[in-house]
């Protein structure tokens, strides 16, 4: 019968979903996912050329910045139009430390993170006391103020050439690009695990409560201003670390590396990947690394675009993508993936009555109903709501 | 003393330009609770259109009028096509859309006219006037700037205070639901409000272009200064936009004149921080009670 095949597939999918259960404890679950992702990326780096590894490392670094921005906008409901400036703060902290002190590489990264968080505090305290567009305007101003500052204090900022940034040497005969990519991927996974735990904690719940309704959050005893400042500091710290890691790849830190368009690319990457999701940061980072260079070059080549058009193609595409994603699919790529996973799970469950599903499984299907997916829930694909049921 | 007079005069001229763009931001914010971060880029685009019209050899004033008309159309079109669909969602979405438009317009201008710096002609001489026997840093063009922005402000006041259209627009901004019940076509007036705001933004673009290096990003800093001006005046208040513009223009001119031009953006940031810490509702705003 023609119906047999889909029915069998449904049963197989339902059984697979039932067996595939992630641990309940957030720390264990997030660590497990990170280790799995790390192993996957490690295997990929072994296959890639040095240049591809260079780009993979950059993707990991940008994923950190976009994840921080995603936490700020998607989870806490604030917006920063100048996160590139915090990347610059982190990168310059690293470069200045390397120029004047001989401190451990890990300490350099931690210092970059801490200084960017402090800069975030300075911006956030006056801007987050009020609801409204103040934070957006101030961060935009910050991103635009940076180039003129480097003109004025060129000895500190290293002028047009900028300052050198050196990556730690690779052990043995290891390819330095591969070694750097490992470091950047490791940093990204550590940060994402920390962020995922933060979002599952008291702080994460406070971030969401403030986003949904500040007055209601305040009546529940949440200190609204402090929560908003904390979220902004966390996201600025992520940007600072990302800036330092990107500087290790490029080898040089100058204010020309952090134009306003970088801040816009970060925002666009976050929106395209899916605001408020940590996985979405990876999709956004891929777009931020590949679109301005390879993709826009191949597009320009394929359509025989003029020099002026191809030079501005990335900016046009990111701008159009920001507008279109907000109009048509505000949940971004990760939202679309979740929606698809939800449809697939719903399809599997809907077919359980028709096929040769055992009685035991049919009962499980009742109390273990598939929760609504794609509504900004947990990142795990399926979650059993009933406590019992032993599939 | 000479320096003080010169810096003050150029501060007034710059302040009037900031005031016209700040007025655009305030008009939009008052009506739709969104700061249009693309306002500067829209003025940039219409100024580039004027540039192309000028290259065809027509007179300056024709290009001037074309740019203002394009500003009206562009503002209305942006509201209809991309802002209206996101109005029912959280305000953050509309902010992201305006930011997307900002770089979209800059990218389009770069693709059509190139990213290099050019010169844009001024309507009048830009060399300083001679008063008595001393030459001051205030040119015929600066006089034109002050007059043009004053005329714009007067026209706006007349529209809002003396016509029924203005009354309906104020009602739309003040209480949209009540206005709609009373038969005011709210959504149509919101489109008109965006168009008028964009007209003010286009004027700002035409007035800034001759004084700076004319490239697709020439309005970026002007926009954030105008935002500062709007916050100083109180984001809801059109008279506040004028006063805020002058305060911001003078403050930045003193910073630039005495401490160095590179510190102007930082000066604006400091001004913004001071205002938000001391008087967050702005000079002309009333502290808003938050409705639950």
Query: What mean pLDDT is predicted for residues B193-197?
Result: 93
**Helix H or strand E segment including A285:** helix A278-290
Query: What mean pLDDT is predicted for residues A147-162?
Result: 78
Contacts of B228 in chain A (CB under 8 A): 137, 141
Taking an 8 Å cut-off on Cβ atoms, the answer to whether B266 and A81 are in contact is: no
Cα angle vertex A379, ends A113, A36, to 5°?
70
- Short-list A218, A214, A210, CA closest to A75: A210
**Helix H or strand E segment including A338:** helix A332-350
Taking an 8 Å cut-off on Cβ atoms, the answer to whether A149 and B103 are in contact is: no
Crossing angle of helices A176-199 and A224-250, in 10° steps, is 170
ipTM of the complex: 0.90
**Helix H or strand E segment including A66:** helix A50-70
pLDDT tens readout for residues A56-80: 999 999 999 999 999 999 999 899 9
Taking an 8 Å cut-off on Cβ atoms, the answer to whether B89 and A330 are in contact is: yes
Ranges A151-165, A213-227, A328-342, A362-376: which has the least confidence: A362-376
A151 within domain boundaries: yes
Q: How far apart are CA A171 and CA A176, in angstroms?
A: 9
**Helix H or strand E segment including A253:** strand A252-253
* Average predicted confidence (pLDDT) for chain B: 89
Query: What mean pLDDT is predicted for residues A352-374?
Result: 40
- pLDDT of A357 reads 44
Ranges A38-52, A194-208, A342-356, B177-191: which has the least confidence: A342-356
* Average predicted confidence (pLDDT) for chain A: 82
Q: How many domains does chain A have?
A: 1
Helices (H), chain B: 2-32, 39-55, 60-78, 84-86, 91-113, 140-162, 164-174, 176-181, 186-208, 220-233, 238-254, 264-278
Query: What mean pLDDT is predicted for residues B113-136?
Result: 81
Would strands A163-164 and A252-253 be described as parallel, antiparallel, or unpaired? Answer: antiparallel
Partner residue opposite A215 with nearest CB, options B89, B97, B292: B292
**Helix H or strand E segment including A91:** helix A83-100
User: To the nearest whole percent, how much of chain A has pLDDT over 90?
Assistant: 36
Place of tokens 């935009």: A140
pLDDT tens readout for residues A273-296: 998 888 999 999 999 999 888 888
Query: What mean pLDDT is predicted for residues A228-251?
Result: 94
A5 within domain boundaries: no
Q: Domain range spanning residue A147?
A: 23-369
A172 within domain boundaries: yes
> How deeply is A85 buried, as exposed, middle or buried, from its count of CB atoms within 10 A (0-12, 13-18, 19+)?
buried
Cβ–Cβ under 8 Å, residues B248 and B225: yes
Partner residue opposite B269 with nearest CB, options A73, A132, A141: A141
The helix/strand/coil state of A147 is: helix
Place of tokens 């992630």: A22
- Short-list A248, A238, A244, CA closest to A168: A248
pLDDT band at residue B39 using 50, 70 and 90 as cut-offs? very high
- Assign 3-class secondary structure to A221-249: CCCHHHHHHHHHHHHHHHHHHHHHHHHHH
**Helix H or strand E segment including A262:** helix A260-273
User: A172 — alpha (psi -120 to 50), left (phi > 0) or beta?
Assistant: left
DSSP B280: T
Taking an 8 Å cut-off on Cβ atoms, the answer to whether A319 and B29 are in contact is: no
Which one is predicted more confidently, B128 or B59?
A: B59
A177 within domain boundaries: yes
Partner residue opposite A323 with nearest CB, options B29, B34, B100: B100
Q: Domain range spanning residue B119?
A: 24-219
B257 within domain boundaries: no
Q: How far apart are CA A366 and CA A388, in angstroms?
A: 11
pLDDT band at residue B276 using 50, 70 and 90 as cut-offs? confident
The helix/strand/coil state of B274 is: helix
Partner residue opposite B35 with nearest CB, options A137, A268, A309: A137
Taking an 8 Å cut-off on Cβ atoms, the answer to whether B111 and A323 are in contact is: no
pLDDT band at residue A387 using 50, 70 and 90 as cut-offs? very low
B15 within domain boundaries: no
B9 within domain boundaries: no
B278 within domain boundaries: no
Q: Please say whether the dihedral angle defined by the alpha carbons of residues A149, A150, A156 and A157, taken in this order, is positive or negative.
A: positive
Cβ–Cβ under 8 Å, residues B229 and B19: yes
- Both structure tokens of A274: 């899916």
Q: How far apart are CA A325 and CA B104, in angstroms?
A: 14
pLDDT band at residue B288 using 50, 70 and 90 as cut-offs? low
A360 within domain boundaries: yes
Q: Which of A253-257, B42-46, B139-143 has maximum average pLDDT?
A: B42-46
Q: How far apart are CA A218 and CA A223, in angstroms?
A: 6
- pLDDT of A132 reads 74
B262 within domain boundaries: no
Q: How far apart are CA A385 and CA A345, in angstroms?
A: 14
Contacts of A267 in chain B (CB under 8 A): 96, 99
Q: Is the pLDDT of residue A371 over 60?
A: no
Taking an 8 Å cut-off on Cβ atoms, the answer to whether A137 and B231 are in contact is: yes
B275 within domain boundaries: no
Contacts of B272 in chain A (CB under 8 A): 126, 134, 137-138, 141
A337 within domain boundaries: yes
Contacts of B41 in chain A (CB under 8 A): none
Place of tokens 């300075």: A122
Q: Is the pLDDT of residue A372 over 60?
A: no
Q: Is the pLDDT of residue B156 over 70?
A: yes
Q: Is the pLDDT of residue B188 over 80?
A: yes
In degrees rounded to 5, what are phi and psi of residue B238?
-60, -45
Q: Is the pLDDT of residue A367 over 50?
A: no
Cβ–Cβ under 8 Å, residues A246 and A55: no
- pLDDT of A310 reads 85
B167 alpha carbon, distance to own chain's centre: 23
Partner residue opposite B262 with nearest CB, options A130, A136, A148: A148
Taking an 8 Å cut-off on Cβ atoms, the answer to whether A322 and B224 are in contact is: no
- Both structure tokens of A275: 């605001």
Q: Is the pLDDT of residue B280 over 90?
A: no
A2 within domain boundaries: no
Taking an 8 Å cut-off on Cβ atoms, the answer to whether A320 and B273 are in contact is: no
Give the CATH number of the domain where residue A42 resides.
1.10.3470
Contacts of B269 in chain A (CB under 8 A): 138, 141-142, 145
Q: B6-40: b or e for each residue (b if 16 or more CB lie within 10 Å)? A: bbbbbbbbbbbbbbbbbbbbbbbbbbbebbbbbbb
> How deeply is A112 buried, as exposed, middle or buried, from its count of CB atoms within 10 A (0-12, 13-18, 19+)?
buried
- Both structure tokens of A3: 């119906």
Taking an 8 Å cut-off on Cβ atoms, the answer to whether B220 and A321 are in contact is: no
User: To the nearest whole percent, how much of chain B has pLDDT over 70?
Assistant: 98
Crossing angle of helices A83-100 and A105-127, in 10° steps, is 140
Cβ–Cβ under 8 Å, residues B36 and B223: no
Which one is predicted more confidently, A106 or B291?
A: A106
Q: Is the pLDDT of residue A370 over 60?
A: no
Q: How many domains does chain B have?
A: 1
Ranges A4-13, B29-38, B39-48, B96-105: which has the least confidence: A4-13
B89 within domain boundaries: yes
Going by C-beta distance under 8 Å and a sequence separation of 6 or more, which residues neighbour residue A83? A65, A68, A69, A139, A143, A235, A236, A239, A263, A266, A267
Query: What mean pLDDT is predicted for residues B127-155?
Result: 85
Query: What mean pLDDT is predicted for residues A86-107?
Result: 90
Query: What mean pLDDT is predicted for residues B49-69?
Result: 92
Q: Which of A26-30, A170-174, A175-179, B193-197 has maximum average pLDDT?
A: B193-197
Query: What mean pLDDT is predicted for residues A76-94?
Result: 92
Place of tokens 């300056």: B60
- Both structure tokens of A38: 């790390």
Taking an 8 Å cut-off on Cβ atoms, the answer to whether A264 and B99 are in contact is: yes
B256 within domain boundaries: no
A3 within domain boundaries: no
């Amino acid at each position: 019968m023609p119906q047999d095949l889909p029915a069998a597939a449904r049963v197989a999918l339902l059984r697979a979903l039932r067996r595939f259960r992630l641990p309940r404890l957030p720390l264990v679950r997030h660590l497990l996912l990170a280790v799995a992702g790390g192993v996957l990326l490690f295997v990929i780096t072994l296959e890639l050329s040095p240049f591809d590894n260079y780009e993979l490392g950059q993707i990991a670094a940008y994923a950190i910045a976009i994840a921080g921005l995603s936490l700020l906008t998607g989870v806490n409901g604030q917006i920063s139009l100048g996160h590139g400036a915090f990347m610059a703060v982190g990168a310059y902290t690293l470069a200045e430390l390397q120029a004047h002190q001989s401190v451990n590489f890990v300490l350099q990264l931690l210092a970059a993170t801490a200084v960017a968080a402090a800069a975030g505090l300075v911006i956030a305290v006056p801007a987050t006391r009020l609801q409204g567009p103040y934070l957006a305007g101030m961060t935009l101003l910050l991103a635009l103020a940076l180039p003129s500052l480097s003109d004025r204090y060129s000895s500190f900022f290293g002028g047009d050439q900028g300052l050198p940034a050196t990556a730690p040497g690779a052990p043995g005969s290891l390819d330095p690009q591969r070694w750097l990519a490992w470091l950047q991927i490791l940093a990204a996974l550590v940060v994402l695990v920390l962020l995922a735990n933060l979002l599952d904690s008291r702080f994460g719940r406070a971030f969401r409560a403030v986003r949904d309704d500040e007055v209601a959050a305040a009546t529940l005893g949440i200190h609204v201003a402090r929560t908003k400042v904390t979220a902004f500091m966390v996201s600025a710290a992520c940007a600072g670390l990302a800036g330092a890691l990107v500087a290790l790849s490029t080898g040089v830190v100058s204010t020309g590396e952090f134009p306003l368009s970088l801040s816009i690319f970060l925002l666009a990457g976050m929106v395209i990947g899916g605001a408020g999701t940590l996985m979405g940061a990876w999709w956004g980072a891929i777009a931020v690394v590949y679109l301005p260079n390879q993709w826009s070059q191949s597009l320009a080549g394929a359509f025989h675009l003029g020099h002026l058009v191809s030079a501005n193609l990335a900016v046009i595409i990111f701008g159009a993508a920001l507008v279109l994603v907000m109009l048509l699919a505000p949940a971004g790529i990760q939202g679309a993936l979740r929606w698809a996973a939800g449809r697939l799970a719903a399809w599997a469950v809907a077919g359980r009555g028709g096929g040769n599903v055992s009685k035991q499984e049919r009962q499980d299907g009742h109390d273990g109903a598939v929760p609504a997916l794609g509504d900004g829930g947990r990142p795990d694909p399926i979650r059993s709501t009933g406590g019992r049921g032993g599939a | 003393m000479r320096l003080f007079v010169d810096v003050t005069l150029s501060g007034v001229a710059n302040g009037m330009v900031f005031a016209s763009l700040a007025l655009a931001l305030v008009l939009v914010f008052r009506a739709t609770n969104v700061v249009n971060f693309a306002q500067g880029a829209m003025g940039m685009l219409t100024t580039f259109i004027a540039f192309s019209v000028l290259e065809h050899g027509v007179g300056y004033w024709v290009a001037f009028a074309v740019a203002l008309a394009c500003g009206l159309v562009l503002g209305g079109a942006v509201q209809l096509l991309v802002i209206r669909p996101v109005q029912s969602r959280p305000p953050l979405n509309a902010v992201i859309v305006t930011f997307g438009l900002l770089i979209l317009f800059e990218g389009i201008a770069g693709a059509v006219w190139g990213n290099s710096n050019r010169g844009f002609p001024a309507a009048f001489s830009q060399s300083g006037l001679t008063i008595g026997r001393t030459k001051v840093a205030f040119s015929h063009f600066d006089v034109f700037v002050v007059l043009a922005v004053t005329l714009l402000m007067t026209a706006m006041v007349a529209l809002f205070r003396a016509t029924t259209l203005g009354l309906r627009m104020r009602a739309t901004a003040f209480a949209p639901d009540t206005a709609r019940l009373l038969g005011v076509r709210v959504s149509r007036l919101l489109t008109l409000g965006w168009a008028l705001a964009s007209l003010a933004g286009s004027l700002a673009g035409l007035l800034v272009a001759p004084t700076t290096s004319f490239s697709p990003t020439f309005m970026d800093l002007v926009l954030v200064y105008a935002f500062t001006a709007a916050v100083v005046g109180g984001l809801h208040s059109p008279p506040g936009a004028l006063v805020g513009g002058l305060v911001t223009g003078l403050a930045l001119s003193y910073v630039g004149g005495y401490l160095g031009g590179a510190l102007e953006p930082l000066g604006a940031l400091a001004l913004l921080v001071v205002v938000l810490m001391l008087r967050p509702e702005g000079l002309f705003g009333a502290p808003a009670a938050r409705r639950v």
